[in-house]
Amino acid sequence: MAAEILKTKAEQGFADQFTAGKSALPGAGNAWAEGLRDAAWETYASVGLPHARVEEWKYTDLRRLLSEAYPPAPALAEALNGDDVAKALGSVLAGLECHRLVIVDSQFRPELSDLGGLEGMGDIQSLGDQLSSPADWLKQTLTQITPQQNDTVIALNTALMSGGITLRIGDNVVLDKPVHIVHVVAAKEAASVTLRNVISIGAAAKVCLLESYVSLADTPLQRNAVSELIAGDGSDVQHIKFQNENMDSSHLTSWMTRLGADVTYKAFQFSIGAAVARNQIFVTFAGEGSTSHVSGAVMGRGKQHNDTTMVIDHAVPGCESREFNKLVLDGSARGVVQCKAIVRKHAQKTDGHQMAQALMLSEMAEFDSKPELEIFADDVVCGHGSTSGQVDDELMFYLRARGIPEPQARALLIAAFVGEAIEKVSSEPIREAFRSMSETWLEGEGA
């Protein structure tokens, strides 16, 4: 009886792209890669873009928010130089001491990257090349990391991915500088960019990864990016994202992370850009004794929509998870935090806690928080909390009684509020960069 649901314009657009473009996508001709894409397309096409009646997407109705599908960014992007990349990043992040990998649209651009010092530590390839002659490790990794392959946005990504990188860090490697994966868009016309990064961190390695997503101009962009990450036993991984895409962009990113045993995983996402952003973070504990701390700061104004959705899967005993998100919402911005913690039957001694806090700078701003605990084990400690409020009058009075004028007092308190989230970033230079960018955001307050 199920009537064929009419495709939206965007859905029709993606369908046309897949049919017409599939033979030109990387990995075409390789049976494994084609098989992956076809299966993913079927998964996606059976349901189409997520909409408000899909529980996980109830606050972010992509059917409504994506009015059309932009064509994929042309494979041979405009000539960009290092200055362009620096400009897109902003001076604070451009100055970061790091190993830098630059991805323009979806193409890895070694000539813009700075990989000095990584020799012998790891291996970096373009995903496109890898898909044409996939190594065994990739076959065992790509789409295998967490159970969220059937999420429609991820399935769409698998079907249409046109680039990205693979990064493998060897066992016991300790990197002294962050690896900064810069995603910059250079397309001159409205474009979509669908890319996939696959990252494997060796046992006992210690790595700080920063993914930044920035725009060079105000060309409208539809981004669908997925990062799959495996953290080997005993590794120590900081996984950080900075998102400042232009206000005509929609930004869909999904992190799928699998942690081995005794891993310390610290994720942080700092989002200030894009008209619509959906940040999905899926963490699966696959080995005992690991810790996952996922935190974030969102600063939104105007009509920005920012949705952070997390699923933390305690599949094994004895792990600790923390999720801590802070949002500053001005104008008629909307912030969403959803976090589902699953504690499987055998995952005893799980210790999980989540907190989401919003500071509302305007009466029109909106905050939705949806914590979910699915606990099947009995010996666990789990909790959640959520708050939302305005700038505290008592604190304001105290600061003003000390001579600090109102706008400055307000900025100080807002900075302090997000500062408590930014503090979670262990890497000092990145933490300070975020602090400084949060202050810059505040200077644009009311502007």
Partner 1 sequence: MLEIKNLHVKIAEDDTEILNGIDLTIPKGEVHAIMGPNGSGKSTLAYVLAGKNDYEVTEGSISWNGDDITELDPDERAAAGVFLAFQYPIEIPGVATMTFLRTSMNAVRKARGQDELSTPDFMRVVKAKAKELNIKDDKLKRPLNVGFSGGEKKRQEILQMSLLEPTLCVLDETDSGLDIDALKIVAEGVNALRGPERAMLVITHYQRLLNYIVPDMVHVLSEGKIVRSGGKDLALELEKSGYAEYGEAAA
Interaction site with partner 1 (CB under 8 A): 393-395, 397-406, 408-409, 412-413, 415-417, 419-420
Q: State in angstroms the smallest separation of the CB of 397 from partner 1.
A: 5
If you write DSSP's letter for every residue of 273-290 in order, what string do you get? --SEEEEEEEEEE-STT-
Which candidate, 372, 211, 208, places its Cα nearest to that of 279? 211
Q: State in angstroms the smallest separation of the CB of 357 from partner 1.
A: 11
Residue closer to partner 1, measured from CB, 35 or 385: 385
Residue closer to partner 1, measured from CB, 376 or 398: 398
Q: State in angstroms the smallest separation of the CB of 166 from partner 1.
A: 39
Residue closer to partner 1, measured from CB, 115 or 415: 415
Which candidate, 169, 188, 189, places its Cα nearest to that of 179? 169
From the number of C-beta atoms within 10 Å of its C-beta (0-12, 13-18, 19+), residue 272 rates as buried
Six token digits for residue 305:
């929509």
Q: Residue count of the chain, please give it.
A: 447
d(CA 111, CA 131): 21
Q: State in angstroms the smallest separation of the CB of 93 from partner 1.
A: 22
Q: State in angstroms the smallest separation of the CB of 362 from partner 1.
A: 20
- Which phi and psi (to 5°) does residue 288 adopt? -75, 160
d(CA 206, CA 176): 9
Q: State in angstroms the smallest separation of the CB of 431 from partner 1.
A: 13
d(CA 325, CA 306): 12
d(CA 339, CA 356): 9
Q: State in angstroms the smallest separation of the CB of 329 from partner 1.
A: 17
Residue closer to partner 1, measured from CB, 217 or 412: 412
Residue closer to partner 1, measured from CB, 225 or 425: 425
Residue closer to partner 1, measured from CB, 108 or 434: 434
Interior/surface letters 108-137, b for 16+ CB within 10 angstroms, e for the rest: bbeebbeeeebeebbebebbbebbeebeee
Residue closer to partner 1, measured from CB, 368 or 420: 420
Q: State in angstroms the smallest separation of the CB of 382 from partner 1.
A: 25
d(CA 420, CA 398): 20
d(CA 343, CA 365): 33
Q: State in angstroms the smallest separation of the CB of 297 from partner 1.
A: 12
Residue closer to partner 1, measured from CB, 152 or 357: 357
What are the percentages of helix, strand and coil residues in the chain, rounded to 5? 25, 35, 35
Residue closer to partner 1, measured from CB, 363 or 394: 394
Determine contact, residues 82/96, Cβ cutoff 8 Å.
no
d(CA 425, CA 163): 28
